[in-house]
Amino acid sequence: MSLFVPEDPEEPHVTVKQEEEVMEVDELIEEEDIEEEELIEDEDDPIIREIPIHLNPIDDESMKLMLLQYTTRRKQGDNEHKKSSIPDSFRYKPKSQVIELELPFEKDKFFNEDKSKNWNGLKGQLLRGVVNRKDSSGYFMGRIGKDGEVHLSPITGGTTQLRPSFRYIDEVRLKKIQREAEEAKQLARKMPGTLAGSELANEEARKKNATMHVVQMTAKSSNQAIPRLGGALLSKKGEDEEVAETYDVLARGNYDEEAIEGVLDDDGGEVLESKMRQGEYVDVLVGDASEEAVKVSEDGNEGGE
Amino acid sequence: MGRIDVEMKDADEAFDDLLEPVYKGKSLTDPIDTAKDKWNLLPAFLKVKGLVKQHLDSYNFFVDVDLRKIVKANQLVLSDVDPSFYLKYLDIRVGYKSNGDPKRPEVLLPPHECRLRDLTYSAPIYVDVEYTRGKKIIIHRDLEIGRMPIMLRSNKCILNGRTEKEMAYLNECPLDPGGYFIVNGTEKVILVQEQLSKNRIIVESDGKKGIVQASVTSSTHERKSKTYVISKNGKIFLKHNSISEEVPIVIVLKAAGIVSDLEILQLVCGDDSVYQDIFSVNFEEASKLGIFTQREALEYIGRKVKTVRRMNSPKLTILQEGTEAIATTIVAHLTVEDLDFREKALYIATMTRRVVMTMHNPKLIDDRDYAGNKRLELAGQLLSLLFEDLFKKFNNDFKANLDKILKKPSRASEFDALLHINIHSNNVTAGLNRAISTGNWSLKRFKMERAGVTHVLSRLSYIAALGMMTRISSQFEKSRKVSGPRALQPSQFGMLCPADTPEGEACGLVKNLALMTHITTDNEEAPIRKLCYLLGAEDISLADSATIHTNGTFGVYLNGTMIGTTRYPIEFVRKFRHLRRRGKVSAFVSIHTNVHQSAVHIAADGGRICRPLIIVENGKSRVKAGHLRKLKNDEWRFDDFLSHGLVEYLDVNEENDSLIALYEEDIVPATTHIEIEPFTILGAVAGLIPYPHHNQSPRNTYQCAMGKQAIGAIGYNQFRRIDTLLYLLCYPEQPMVKTKTIELVKYDQLPAGHNATVAVMSYSGYDIEDALILNKASIDRGFGRCQVLRKNTSVLKRYPNHTKDIVSGMRVDKEGKPIFQHAALGQDGLAEVGSPIQSGQMYINKCVPSNAMESVVGGPQQNNRNQPQEQQQDHEQQFREAPMVYRGPEKSYVDQVMMTVGDNDQALIKVLLRQTRRPELGDKFSSRHGQKGVCGMIVKQEDMPFSDQGISPDIIMNPHGFPSRMTVGKMMELVSGKAGVLRGTLEYGTCFGGSDLDDMSKVLVEKGFNYGGKDMLYSGTTGEALQAYIFFGPIYYQKLKHMVLDKMHARARGPRAVLTRQPTEGRSRDGGLRLGEMERDCVIAYGASQLLLERLMLSSDAFDVDICQGCGLMGYNGWCPMCKSSENIVKMTIPYAAKLLFQELISMNIAPRLKLSDVF
């Protein structure tokens, strides 16, 4: 079980969907690099070694790769605490694209039980992130195969930046506020003559009024448009209402490695050949941008020199 | 005029030359010198772009692209009552139907007819709609929702792409640049407006208060708001109009989801310990307030939000308020729709970072006056703002109407929305027309009121119209005395004309475009964004916060928003430029690196100023002789240069990233571009000046102002026009010394001036203070002769009671001759074309029905029915004469009479009256070097000095005009002009070039003249040779519109103001001539008290009052109402104004009592 990324230790890769750890993740190779090389020929840069590359498109049904970024994790030193780097639980809200996971604390060192109790028995660090599903990421997961070939699998599930979520603080605070409110109520009930009591009475009266209003409102609002929440508020509401799907985090050995590898390594056995020329490809990618620009013949400047 | 004037034949030949591809004596087979001939790109540029292309581009963009976007953003109309109803706009088109050809707009009324008939030149706006009728969904095409005023020569105008011949058929001048509108018969220009750029961070500091602030004006279709990140006492806050109080920045960032202090520090300060030290204090602020989580931060902000709830919007909790504020209100141009706030958080962090950087290094502030921070708003943008407002209103009205009908429970017929949409179409038409004709841009959704957006196109001369089209007005307040925004910014080089700005209060605020300037329109962002990622920029929403601001990482900003990072900025920019030069990206997208901010900025927004430059690679210009040959052979156009990567557009910011050589010999290895032609830094108006680079700079500025007042030809259709006031020069000549700009703007085809032979000498005493002596014979020959045409309009109204105005015939005296007043009239009661008309004579004998105001229903009609005979009798008396009478010091001739039907079916009569004026004493003339003067004396030719050849000058100018003005260019014009006359060529005085003075001197010497242009003259009066050699030769002189005839004014007796009984003010009201305070001082000093009394009282408002010596108050008719007696009444004369003052004082309970005593 190795969650290790030599180049960029902050972006370990975890594949979601019922399993597993990532094998030897080599490095992220961006699609553009290839494109670039075509674009500008580098002189004085001899070829040292050629590595076969397998592009393995993954069927959306069978597996989704998702890239998790731990924004608060430090570059060095985390490898010592491997335990705390494996999430305990993993919750995913597919509609609102929110991920929540919990990294367990190292309880043997620097762990304060009392504080944990204060926060409802907090067991780990809560991380939360919104999945970014932009096509622009161009991220691939790379694996070095048995013969030294590179297998590239596109990250299809999106990328997420995980940030600490201090929900437990909010929860404690909300509870406290609730409790205080209740206490105030009770206090008021015990001493009906006091100011607080009268206020409470007022409030109750107001509540009654309010309920009456509500009845009126409903009668009226049948004719009127229902107030709509827009944009971010709607999304937020959606998230609050959505029930999270819980996933298990499987350690290496707890799943069928071979099968997963099979899925990942399946490149269909075809040799990819570019059907387009570089210019055409750029045109496709740039699309509308070139629409306004003047059309140029592919060979570029045949100028009059 | 002197004999040296170019004969007409020569002028014609020169004119023909211009129409040939062969130019300046060079034929196609001649060798091409790249360095010299690259200027040919300029005519090619102007051929494609035209002088007012910015207006046309902007309008075309609006009509073709922006309009669709607006409709798309407002495409649905829903009913509150019937949820099943909807109406959806599918498409919008101006000027053509769904089955029509967009390139061939519907035939409209020709623009000239609109001018004459006081109509609006407009085309129908068609929409395709899809809506529900009952259960059915219906698609309806080509529904007209109003009419859009059409910009002349835009792609929706019928003049677009017409040949000269077709233009003539349409009564249109082929040289007219277009770019304006015709609304209710008047030509209206929407001036280019200069504004601070939107959606960009601007950092400013106030040194005294120690405040550094980064502000951004967010502008979207829906809202405009400004967000500040401001530092106070070392702490940083966020300020926004809708948040009641400044919010500590850390709280804002936490609310935007950056909860960990580590990440905040990474995003704001990167790994720079100095920035970290400056910023760290802000963390305390948040922790002091006990805010740690995103929810706490959101609630904190939610409590501070000033809630303005619109109708129908739900009540929000504090948390929701906070979320809403962060998502939509703050930095409003980045609207968050989902839960990912990272982009916005990054933007706020970037603003904060800029503040921190500036706190550390105060030099990093931005310059508001820098041209790269400015955006120019053109007709298209302004119209699009207006149209969206009107379209929204249109939809709202439509919806309100719908709801009203749908609410009714039972309807007789099935509801068809289409029947109700047309009711409001007039709102769009009228709204657009009103805004353009009044210039009041009122936009409800931004609560914006802007006045003076449009101006009447000045048709004083061709140049005046042209100058108006290139004018840029600043939003800056005129009255404020600040120098910054008025100063000439180095960044304006090549973009804005350095000479063309008015004097006085608007100096430096009103600017003009340079010759080659182009103003961009909006480019789509998405493909460019995609391209950036393709070129290796890492998406910002995927990038790791820790790496964004590490040393050597450059942010990639698209239109001011960070979209990615790159480690290889130089390579990135190079590749991007490469793609742009290949035509993969729009030529008007600019990219530049800012090392201080570690940023690569890409700009694709509209309103940036840019200009084309020749690309230099490896120390060599990309444009070679072969390319220019292709251009000459008409194989290539300017766009081919662009698409082949030989020429590119650079905006101000990208210019800063380039090393631009002025001339080919200046190219060094680092050079990236070379100028196409240096004189293009001047605008169209300043381009008329010959040798401007030899003049003192204010002189060029003065000429820019005066060139617009010069009387000349205004268009090929000038005799077909009926304008309020039209000045035409009778025999305009193209200048002997022209410039390339003159040819490019076609000033030589519509000139405004004469080549006068000028002798620089003193003559009599009537040439002091720049006065000119004119030769009478020249005037007889037509020098300075001009025509003034004035329009007079009358409408024959129709009244509600079916009566209408009529024109009645002329009245005759006993001998059958028309009476004096009717002398100019014809049988039809209208003045006859060609007849002279004196002051007091009428040109339209209009009669108004005397019962016009009587109501339709009621008495008179019934009477008429009962007594038809009487009604006929009445007929004569029913009309009251309301003629149009000509008044003026000088008689006029009737030039044109037009009768037509205007917009509202009422007859419209226009009478054009003409005066031909020859120069007289006091008329104003100027050369093209800011040297103006009035005519001081007109001298008979025989009294003028003459040369050996018998040439006598048209104008004598006093030499004192030169030393202090330092207009060396004028002297050079004379020398070049003289050489040109002798050689039979037109010479050039192009800025930074033109005919060489040495060559010109050589020509003079060859022809037997003095090398310096001085001649020996003989006195016209004595015949003796003058003691000095006289600087003598042709200079182009303009006649300015200020003429004595329009200004002369005197009065003996005349009207008085009612309130004060003092003479009225001003020439137009036949007012008196004021003896002001300073004149009064003189009279006092001189001791002429009786004169003072006469001027100030007797000749003004003397008034006899009765003063009661008993009470000291005023009485009347020898009676004091206070004392109830006539005993002590004394009569005396005081100014009526004084009497008024006393009465006013009495009215406020102050009793001014006059105690009179004898002086002697």
B1024 pLDDT more than 80:
yes
Query: Dihedrals φ, ψ of B113, to 5°?
Result: -65, -40
Pick the residue of B69, B344, B584, B639 with the most A CBs within 10 A to test the interface with A by mutation: B584
Range with the lowest mean pLDDT among A46-50, B112-116, B184-188? A46-50
Q: Are B584 and A239 a contacting pair at CB < 8 A?
A: no
Q: Give the per-residue pLDDT at B862.
A: 45
Farthest CA pair distance, chain B: 109
B675 pLDDT more than 80:
yes
Residue B9: pLDDT band with limits 50, 70, 90: very low
Query: Count of A–B CB contacts within 8 Å?
Result: 193
Between residues B679 and A263, the one the model is more confident about: B679
Report the percent of chain B where pLDDT is more than 90: 35
Question: Whole-angstrom Cα distance, residue B737 to residue B989?
Answer: 6
B449 pLDDT more than 50:
yes
B783-827 tens-digit pLDDT: 999 999 999 999 988 888 788 888 888 888 888 888 888 888 888
Q: Give the per-residue pLDDT at B405.
A: 80
CATH superfamily assigned to domain B787-917: RNA polymerase II, Rpb2 subunit, wall domain (2.40.50.150)
Question: Whole-angstrom Cα distance, residue B465 to residue B486?
Answer: 24
* Stretch 285-314 of chain B: residues touching chain A, C-beta under 8 Å: 292-296, 312-314
Read off the pLDDT of each residue in B1013-1020 and give the average, rounded to a whole number: 93
Residue A87: count other Cβ atoms within 10 Å of its Cβ.
21
Residue B592: count other Cβ atoms within 10 Å of its Cβ.
21
Q: Give the per-residue pLDDT at B13.
A: 52
Read off the pLDDT of each residue in B85-112 and give the average, rounded to a whole number: 82
Chain A CB contacts of B589 below 8 Å = 289
User: B230 and B246 in contact (C-beta within 8 Å)?
Assistant: yes
Range with the lowest mean pLDDT among B292-301, B872-881, B939-948, B1144-1153? B872-881
Question: Whole-angstrom Cα distance, residue A184 to residue A173?
Answer: 16
Closest CA to B572 of B547, B605, B600, B553: B600
Chain B CB contacts of A294 below 8 Å = 583, 587, 639, 642-643
Residue position matching structure tokens 């704001």: B268
B1051-1063 tens-digit pLDDT: 988 999 999 999 9
* Stretch 167-226 of chain A: residues touching chain B, C-beta under 8 Å: 167, 169-170, 173, 223-225
Instruction: Specify which residues A160 forms β-bridges with.
Output: A68, A131
Kindly list the strands in the beta sheet with B538-539, ordered across the sheet, starting from the edge strand earlier in the chain.
B538-539, B561-566, B554-558, B599-603, B590-594
Q: Give the per-residue pLDDT at A136.
A: 52
Residue B710: pLDDT band with limits 50, 70, 90: very high
Among candidates A134, A286, A296 on the partner chain, residue whose Cβ is nearest the Cβ of B643? A296
Chain A interface includes B339 (CB < 8 A): yes
Among candidates B292, B326, B643 on the partner chain, residue whose Cβ is nearest the Cβ of A166? B292
Q: Give the per-residue pLDDT at B937.
A: 94
Chain A interface includes B541 (CB < 8 A): yes
Among candidates B81, B340, B524 on the partner chain, residue whose Cβ is nearest the Cβ of A223? B81
Q: Give the per-residue pLDDT at B411.
A: 64
User: B492 and B508 in contact (C-beta within 8 Å)?
Assistant: no
Chain A CB contacts of B326 below 8 Å = 232
Among candidates A75, A164, A293 on the partner chain, residue whose Cβ is nearest the Cβ of B583? A293
Chain A interface includes B582 (CB < 8 A): yes
Mind spelling out the 3-state secondary structure of B94-137? ECCCCCCCCCCCCCCCCHHHHHHHCCCCEEEEEEEEEEEECCEE
Question: Whole-angstrom Cα distance, residue B634 to residue B640?
Answer: 11
Question: In chain B, where are the structural domains located?
Answer: 8-16+685-785+920-1039, 53-194+376-469, 201-332, 521-606, 787-917, 1101-1147
Q: What average pLDDT values come out for chain A (305 residues) when binned by 10 residues? A: 39 39 35 42 72 75 76 63 69 83 77 77 80 70 78 80 82 86 85 54 55 45 48 76 78 70 68 73 61 37 33
B475 pLDDT more than 60:
yes
How far away is chain B from the Cα of A254, in angstroms, using its nearest Cα? Answer: 31
Q: Give the per-residue pLDDT at A20.
A: 34
B901 pLDDT more than 50:
yes
CATH class of B1101-1147: alpha beta
Farthest CA pair distance, chain A: 101
Range with the lowest mean pLDDT among B217-231, B328-342, B414-428, B1082-1096? B414-428
Between residues A203 and B284, the one the model is more confident about: B284
Chain A interface includes B536 (CB < 8 A): yes
Classify burial at A240, counting beta carbons within 10 Å of its beta carbon; exposed 0-12, middle 13-18, buried 19 or more. Answer: exposed
Classify burial at B372, counting beta carbons within 10 Å of its beta carbon; exposed 0-12, middle 13-18, buried 19 or more. Answer: buried
B408 pLDDT more than 50:
yes
B277 pLDDT more than 70:
yes
Angle at B1089 between CA B1084 and CA B1093, to 5 degrees: 110
User: A90 and A101 in contact (C-beta within 8 Å)?
Assistant: yes
Chain A interface includes B1007 (CB < 8 A): no
- Angle at which helix B41-49 crosses helix B625-632, to 10 degrees, equals 50
Chain B CB contacts of A72 below 8 Å = 260, 262-263
Question: Whole-angstrom Cα distance, residue B682 to residue B517?
Answer: 10
Question: Is residue B661 classed as helix, strand or coil in its secondary structure?
Answer: strand
Chain-wide mean pLDDT for chain B? 86
Among candidates A33, A96, A165 on the partner chain, residue whose Cβ is nearest the Cβ of B339? A96
Range with the lowest mean pLDDT among A236-245, B206-215, B1040-1049? A236-245
B213 pLDDT more than 60:
yes
- Hey, do B53-194+376-469 and B201-332 end up sharing a CATH topology, with the first three levels equal? no
Residue B5: pLDDT band with limits 50, 70, 90: very low
Among candidates B293, B341, B626 on the partner chain, residue whose Cβ is nearest the Cβ of A166? B293
**Who contacts B829 (Cβ-Cβ below 8 Å, separation ≥6)?**
B807, B808, B809, B810, B844, B845, B846
* Stretch 45-84 of chain B: residues touching chain A, C-beta under 8 Å: 80-81
C-alpha distances (whole Å) from A255 to each of A101, A259, B223, B648 are 20, 9, 54, 60
CATH value of B521-606 in 3.80.30.20, 3.90.1070.20, 3.20.20.80, 1.10.1380.10: 3.90.1070.20
Q: Give the per-residue pLDDT at A117.
A: 79
Question: Whole-angstrom Cα distance, residue B93 to residue B142?
Answer: 8
Question: Whole-angstrom Cα distance, residue B383 to residue B70?
Answer: 11
Read off the pLDDT of each residue in B224-250 and give the average, rounded to a whole number: 88
Chain B interface includes A166 (CB < 8 A): yes
Chain A interface includes B259 (CB < 8 A): yes
B838-863 tens-digit pLDDT: 999 989 988 888 876 766 555 444 44
How far away is chain A from the Cα of B358, in angstroms, using its nearest Cα? Answer: 27
Residue A89: count other Cβ atoms within 10 Å of its Cβ.
17
Q: Give the per-residue pLDDT at A232.
A: 73
Chain A interface includes B556 (CB < 8 A): no
Residue position matching structure tokens 């393995």: A56
Chain B CB contacts of A97 below 8 Å = 338-339
Angle at B108 between CA B103 and CA B110, to 5 degrees: 110
Read off the pLDDT of each residue in B643-647 and give the average, rounded to a whole number: 86
Which residue on chain B is closest to A287 by alpha carbon? B527
Residue B544: pLDDT band with limits 50, 70, 90: confident
Read off the pLDDT of each residue in B156-185 and give the average, rounded to a whole number: 89
Residue B729: pLDDT band with limits 50, 70, 90: very high
Question: Whole-angstrom Cα distance, residue A144 to residue A150?
Answer: 5
Chain A CB contacts of B546 below 8 Å = 10, 71, 75
Range B8-16+685-785+920-1039 classified under CATH 1.10.150.110: no
CATH architecture group of domain B201-332: Alpha-Beta Complex (3.90)
Question: Whole-angstrom Cα distance, residue B923 to residue A202?
Answer: 87
Q: Are A236 and B323 a contacting pair at CB < 8 A?
A: yes
CATH topology of domain B53-194+376-469: Rna Polymerase Beta Subunit; Chain: C,domain 2 (3.90.1100)
B27 pLDDT more than 70:
no
Q: Give the per-residue pLDDT at B1.
A: 45
Among candidates B292, B337, B533 on the partner chain, residue whose Cβ is nearest the Cβ of A169? B292
B7 pLDDT more than 80:
no
Q: Are A289 and B625 a contacting pair at CB < 8 A?
A: no
Question: Whole-angstrom Cα distance, residue B317 to residue B301?
Answer: 12
Active site residues of B: 770
Q: Are A292 and B586 a contacting pair at CB < 8 A?
A: yes
Query: Dihedrals φ, ψ of B1015, to 5°?
Result: -125, 160
Pick the residue of A119, A292, A295, A301 with the most B CBs within 10 A to test the interface with B by mutation: A292
Chain B CB contacts of A220 below 8 Å = none
